[in-house]
Copies of this chain bind each other. A is one copy, B any other.
Amino acid sequence: MTQPLSSETLRLGLPSGSLQQSTIDLFGRAGYRISVSERSVFPRIDDEKMSAVLFRAQEISRYVVDNIVDCGLTGFDWIVENGNENDIVEICELAYARASSNPVRWVLAVPEESAVRKLEDLGGKIIATELVNTTRRHFAARNVPVTVEFSWGTTEIKARLLDAIVELTETGSSLRANNLRIIETLLTSTTRFVANKSAWSIPWKREKMENIAMLLRGAIEARAKVGLKMNVPQARLAEVIAFLPAEKSPTVSPLADTGWVAVEVILEDKQERELIPRLKRAGATGIITYPLNKVIP
């Protein structure tokens, strides 16, 4: 059994658990095939200059700082919780992990029926959270003395047994379903691609990380976009182009049939559903849309 993270390679820390599959899919669309075997934490990656390991998102920034890996993907929340903000290089932000691309929030919440109205009302109380350090610092900064206890997994029910919780929420719906009331937001977080400082100073590693960042961003960008092609009568081209979002420059190609041109454009899928009915009414024919792997502007 040998060390699978060779120092000859760019060593990459990937989040296991709920983010694992979406991360592997993202790399797949970016051009890297990662395959995980059931019994191993070392995924195979089809680039001989890279190696990878799966850690919990909570741990990754620590192992980047410890130089166990050169770089990794993790949440800003866990970077802050581990106190690693100043000890790593943030290569880029990546919004890929959720149905929506909204950031998540860590909020202080109490039962609907609680008398607590503001953070200061919690002096002397017990608060359960998985984000212990951040919560302690937040209360200390306000000079409100509290006991903060580490709580594994979902804490909703503890808001009722103890006094309050600090819990992760995306839309607030799980908190509402548990009849909890949000007092305030402690931290807003998204996923980050981060590097070890000494790895960042090695030129080939840095270039490789920058390339990966470009490809990952291109793959994320492509997720909410589609390619659209249509045939437009030469006479109505200006009218059609006026519908298209201003920032896009469509590719207009001549066709064999000289009365018509082919127009191709990349659109957000939300725009697409508004535009297609209008384009059709404006005389476009043969409208098709197709999926994209990557969009790099």
Contacts and interface: CB of A to CB of B under 8 A. Distances in A.
Contacts of A47: 270, 273
Helix, strand, loop or mixed for chain A's interface?
mixed
Contacts of A119: none
Contacts of A244: none
B3 A160 contact: yes
Contacts of A194: none
Interface string A147-160: 00101110001001
Given A31-B273, A176-B1, A253-B256, A280 B41 contact: no
B270 A261 contact: no
Nearest to A126: B66
A239 to B, nearest CB: 15
B289 A293 contact: yes
Given A288-B296, A290-B292, A290-B293, A273 B32 contact: yes
- Can you tell how many copies of this chain the complex includes? 6
A162 interface: yes
A290 B288 CA distance: 12
A269 interface: yes
Interface string A6-48: 0000000000000000000000001111010101110010110
Contacts of A120: none
A296 B66 CA distance: 49
A97 B8 CA distance: 30
A297 B297 CA distance: 29
A288 B266 contact: yes
Interface residues of A, number: 82
Contacts of A41: 157
A143 interface: no
A100 B253 contact: no
Contacts of A288: 222, 227, 266, 292-296
Nearest to A112: B1
A253 B249 contact: no
Contact of A255 (B33, B63, B253, B286): B253
Nearest to A34: B99
A274 B30 CA distance: 11
Interface of A: 1, 3, 5, 30-33, 35, 37, 39-41, 44, 46-47, 53, 56, 58-59, 62-63, 66, 68, 99-100, 111, 126, 149, 151-153, 157, 160-162, 171, 173, 176-179, 210-211, 214-215, 218, 222, 226-227, 231, 249, 251-257, 261-262, 266, 269-270, 272-274, 276-277, 280, 285-297
The 9 residue pairs across chains A and B that have the minimum distance between CB atoms? A252-B256, A31-B273, A287-B296, A289-B294, A289-B293, A35-B99, A211-B277, A56-B152, A31-B269
9 contacts: A31-B270, A63-B161, A210-B277, A211-B273, A226-B293, A251-B256, A288-B296, A289-B294, A290-B291
